[in-house]
Amino acid sequence: MGAVLVLCGFSTILLLAPPQSMMVLLELMPLPMGAKQTLAVVVVFNALLCIGFERYLAGRIARWLRRAKTRSRTKSRAYKVVENVEG
């Protein structure tokens, strides 16, 4: 979660007030204020989606995959007992 917040902060700084050295390095072009606001909303929405996924869905998906893997392993190991039959 911390990495998402750091990346969100970095993106916001680059968007709203990029240092001149970063503008030259990343070849950024000036944007109108409306476009900056739209991108800022997208950055925040994306960060919230990532945090929500990590907190609530990632664990559930991992448990679901673990159960599916366990089920497939137990099905493949279902052997029938063969008795020794003398004829």
pLDDT of 78 reads 59
Given a cut of 60, is residue 76 above it in pLDDT?
no
27: left (phi over 0), alpha (psi -120 to 50) or beta: left
The answer to whether residue 83 is domain-embedded is no
- Going by pLDDT thresholds of 50, 70 and 90, the confidence category of residue 34 is very high
- In a domain, residue 46? The reply is yes
Domain assignment present for 41: yes
Q: Output the pTM of the full model.
A: 0.58
Does residue 58 belong to any structural domain of this protein? yes
DSSP state of 27: T
Q: Which domain holds residue 58?
A: 2-76
- Range 72-86 average pLDDT: 64
> 69 phi and psi, to 5 degrees?
-65, -40
In a domain, 62, yes or no: yes
Give residue-wise pLDDT tens across range 35-60. 989 988 998 898 889 888 888 888 88
What is the model's pLDDT at position 51? 87
